[in-house]
Amino acid sequence: ASEARAAGGRERPLVVAHRGASAYAPENTLPAIDKAAALGFRWVENDVQRTKDGELVVLHDDSLRRTTNVEQVFPDRAPWKVKDFTAAEIARLDAGSWFSRAYAGTRVPTLDRYMRRVEHNHENLLLEIKNPGLYPGIERQTLKVLAKEGWLDHRHLASRLIVQSFSADSVRAVHALAPRVRTAYLGRPAEGDLRRYAGFADLINPSHGTLSAKYVNAVHAFTGPHGKPMKVFAWTVDDASRARTLAGYGVDGIITDKPDVVRAALPAA
């Protein structure tokens, strides 16, 4: 615990740029994490999925349709699922124009390319394994890429990386394969189930609307797999007054598309 907490005070929640600073640059792209860094933020969140030929890429939806020009490039390939396209095909797509002309030509990043940019920017990563049911073995594969890029060394594990998923099975798999990696479960387990989650998750990350001070306290009362009190990161909070309320509940992190708005809303540390 920090001095602030030991003294009975509260730390400011960590601000995490959701899909990068995604209110200001196309989500889950390199410009989005560059923008987070430029605004002075050190934590970014992303979503990882797998192509037809087994490459890990950073994209939120299971379809390429919303955030790329796939419909124009491959008009007869509906419903344009990530898993039905090769990495080379995805590399041809424009993942920036849908957001703004200023980002035309931005690509869907592969996970290894993305990791290099996170490192280059001196950022930390909340990595979400998205739709793991569609991609058997994605946990092991993600860890392999992280290891190759140097993210499973001691320095990164201690403070720079958290792996999360909406699937408890997926979080459990990551914990079993790489017990030193910090993990988060995306959701809000019943208080009576928290003890079980404490066996494999360091954090509980619920949708902010499901939270209360009582629930945050209940999570904090458990010790996670790395011997520290479990933490709570709330998502996705772009509203200043809501961010203040959540800080009052004692959340440890706020995941937001507008990190600058949330930072300005929070009381000084």
Residues that bind ligand G3P (CB under 6 A): 18, 45, 47, 60, 128, 186, 205, 235-236, 255
Rounded least distance, CB 237 to ligand G3P, Å: 10
| Alpha carbon 174 to its chain's center | 15
156 a catalytic residue: no
Rounded least distance, CB 6 to ligand G3P, Å: 28
Nearer to ligand G3P, 18 or 172 (CB): 18
Question: How many Å from the N-terminal Cα to the C-terminal Cα in the chain?
Answer: 15
Residue 186 interacting entry, from ligand G3P, Ca ion, none, C-beta within 5 to 8 Å by type: ligand G3P
Q: Smallest Cα–Cα separation from 85: which of 69, 72, 98, 74?
A: 74
User: φ and ψ at 84, to 5 degrees?
Assistant: -100, 5
CA distance to 136, 210, 225, 258, 266, per residue, from 230 (Å): 28, 17, 9, 25, 22
Here's the x/- map for Ca ion, 86-105, by CB under 5 A: it reads as --------------------
Q: Is 26 helix (H, G, I), strand (E, B) or coil?
A: coil
Rounded least distance, CB 188 to ligand G3P, Å: 12
60 a catalytic residue: yes
Rounded least distance, CB 246 to ligand G3P, Å: 14
Tokens standing for residue 43: 């934590």
The verdict on 257 binding Ca ion (CB under 5 A) reads no
Kindly tell me which residue out of 25, 30, 31, 47 binds Ca ion, with binding defined by CB under 5 A: 47
The answer for residues whose C-beta is within 8 angstroms of residue 155's C-beta and 6 or more apart is: none
Given the residues 60, 156, 175, 208, the one annotated as active site: 60
Catalytic machinery residues = 18, 60
